[in-house]
Every structure is written in C-alpha cells, then in structure tokens.
C-alpha cells in the first residue's frame, strides 16, 4: 500500500529548517499541497525572516510540487488564523497539521529565568494550541484531520538543562491525549512524534561526527508521513531517528489496595516495590479508567 497525499492540504510549522523542512519536502513529494510556515528566527527564537520558508517553497516547486510560504509566528493566534484562512482561500481545506516549530533556551533550572521559561512554553505549547485551534473546527466539519505534535525525549524522560523545554514538550503529549478523544468521532487523529535528528537545534550536543552523519532529519520524516496518512493510528507517541523507529508508552501499574486502617505513608513505603510491579500494568485509554480501577479495588470487585 503506497502512502500518498494527493488532494490533501498540509500545514507544517517551523518548516524553514531541519525536521520541518524535511517533513514539508516529504509531504509535497507524495502529492500534498503544503503551507511552509516559518518565522525565520534564530535557534533561541530571536529575530525573523521570510526567506527560510521561501527557500523551502522554491525547493518544492523546483521538484514539481505545490507550496506557499508563510511567516506567521505560531505564538500569535491572529497570524496563525490568517495563515489557515490563506490556505483555505487558496486550496479549500486543511487536512494535515504538523506542529513542528520550536526554539531552545537551555539553562539549568537554578540559572534559568521565568522569561525564558514562558517563551519556550509559549512557542512549543501555545504555538501548538494556536495552530490546532485554528484548524480544529475545519477538520470537524470536513470529518477528516491528521495532527501531529512534536514532543521530545527531553519531555518524555528529562534532560539536564532543559526544564522549560521538557515541560513544554510533555505538555503537548497531554494535549494529544485529550484531542485524540475529542477528535475520534470526526475522524481526526492526533499523534506525537519524538524525533532525534542532527539540525541546528542539536548541532552542539557533543555527538561525534560519525554518529551525526546517521541522523539527518530526512530519516525521521517517514515516521511523520505515517502519522498523518489515511491509515494513521491515533494517540501514538512515535520515536524516530537515524532509521530507528519505536514507541513510547505510558503505563499504569495495577498497584495495591490498603484497607482503611493501613493507609499510612509507612505502608506506602513498605509496599513501594509491590505497587511498582509491572505485572498487570495497563495502558489507559482515558483518565476515568484510573478512578474506575481504584473504585473497583475499594469495592472488592475484579479488575475490569
């Protein structure tokens, strides 16, 4: 089964460089009409220039594809709305949104400023919210939508010096979990991509040249293309880098039940290994399943 995007309209944010550029090229190569969005700023989010997006549009057109450039700042909801309006005016719909734009302001938490923290959250979380909100109504009306949040191993597992970035990257996973539920009956599928690629964002993380040569952003893009295809799953965190593909999954252990007279912190400590046991752990489909599990334990009912 070949995956194609003919007739589909896609918006890729932060597509002037790195991963976004590779995603935009990959979508266009398989037939999508692409809005190449990029503010064109520096790695830390400062500055702006329309040329980053325009260069990628030129590449797509040179290869016979269709694309338009857009320089909206994803943190600006009015600019984002204007970008979506422009796509609809030109092509009539938006089928795919790839929330990829991002910046870094790395510093240990002790040294970082609230200003940097807010800016990083604003770009990664609120930028994703702004873009998703602007297409959500359209996708519901169309009965079709594919949305990807770009998360990160820093958010999923932590990374020294990236408290702001990690918090923002895990926040978009939370956004995905609920939008998956709310979008399901409208055929809107929402997934997250956790990439590893050598880009200007990761140019100084101390990996040697031989390893870096394996990590071109184009090796992540096949994973992204699957996540926005007709056959896409939903609520999946797909990890991708250098030709490796994996899933990150949140489980909850079955846990223990303490009768009323034993509910002490000392007993939690004494049973910590038991409540941590992976035996019987589950992937919950929604938050209420946790409440149901504990109610069942308290009422002495069998696990559902």
Q: How far apart are CA 129 and CA 298, in angstroms?
A: 38
Q: How far apart are CA 53 and CA 264, in angstroms?
A: 58
Q: Which helix (H) or strand (E) holds 140?
A: helix 127-142
Q: How far apart are CA 242 and CA 217, in angstroms?
A: 8
Which CB sits closer to ligand NAD, 164 or 196? Answer: 196
Which CB sits closer to ligand NAD, 138 or 201? Answer: 201
Provide the minimum distance between the beta carbon of 302 and ligand NAD in the complex, in angstroms, as a whole number. 41
C-alpha distance from residue 71 to each of 6, 40, 53, 54, 78 (Å): 25, 7, 7, 9, 12
Q: How far apart are CA 36 and CA 185, in angstroms?
A: 29
Query: Is 165 among the catalytic positions?
Result: yes
Q: How far apart are CA 120 and CA 169, in angstroms?
A: 10
Provide the minimum distance between the beta carbon of 195 and ligand NAD in the complex, in angstroms, as a whole number. 5
Which CB sits closer to ligand NAD, 154 or 293? Answer: 154
| Residue 123, token pair as written in the block | 């770009």
Does residue number 95 form part of the binding site for ligand NAD (CB under 6 A)? no
Among 9, 10, 19, 25, which residue interacts with ligand NAD (rule: CB under 6 A)? 19
Provide the minimum distance between the beta carbon of 63 and ligand NAD in the complex, in angstroms, as a whole number. 20
Residues 173-202 that bind ligand NAD (CB under 6 A): 195-197, 199-202
| Residue 222, token pair as written in the block | 């096949």
Residues 110-129 that bind ligand NAD (CB under 6 A): 123, 127
Q: Which residue in 144, 157, 165, 251 is the catalytic one?
A: 165
Please give the residue ranges that form the binding site for ligand NAD (CB under 6 A): 13-14, 16-20, 37-41, 43, 45, 52, 73-75, 100-103, 123, 127, 150, 152, 195-197, 199-202
Hey, which residues are catalytic here? 165
């Amino acid at each position: 089964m070949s995956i194609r995007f003919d007739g589909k309209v896609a918006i890729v944010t932060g597509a002037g460089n790195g991963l976004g550029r590779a995603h935009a090229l990959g979508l266009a190569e398989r037939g999508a009409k692409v809005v190449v969005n990029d503010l064109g700023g520096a790695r830390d989010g400062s500055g702006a220039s329309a040329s980053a997006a325009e260069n990628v549009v030129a590449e797509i057109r040179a290869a016979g594809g269709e694309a338009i450039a857009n320089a909206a700042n994803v943190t600006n909801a009015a600019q984002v709305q204007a970008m979506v309006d422009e796509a609809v005016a030109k092509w009539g719909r938006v089928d795919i949104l790839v929330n990829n734009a991002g910046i870094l302001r790395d510093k240990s938490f002790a040294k970082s400023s609230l200003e940097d923290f807010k800016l990083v959250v604003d770009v990664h979380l609120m930028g994703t919210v702004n873009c998703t909100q602007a297409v959500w109504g359209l996708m519901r009306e169309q009965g079709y939508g594919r949305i990807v949040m770009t998360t990160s191993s820093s958010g999923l597992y932590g990374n020294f010096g990236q408290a702001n970035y990690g918090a923002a990257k895990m926040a978009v996973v939370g956004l995905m979990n609920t939008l998956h539920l709310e979008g399901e009956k409208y055929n809107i599928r929402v997934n997250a991509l956790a990439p590893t690629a050598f880009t200007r964002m990761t140019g100084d993380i101390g990996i040697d040249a031989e390893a870096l040569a394996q990590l071109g952003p184009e090796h992540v893009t096949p994973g992204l293309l699957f996540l926005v295809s007709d056959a896409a799953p939903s609520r999946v965190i797909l990890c991708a880098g250098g030709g490796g593909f994996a899933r990150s999954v949140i489980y909850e252990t079955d846990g223990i039940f303490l009768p009323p007279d034993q509910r002490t912190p000392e007993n939690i400590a004494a049973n910590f290994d038991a409540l941590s046991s992976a035996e019987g752990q589950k992937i919950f489909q929604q938050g209420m399943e946790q409440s149901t599990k504990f109610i069942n334990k308290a009422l002495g009912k069998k696990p559902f």
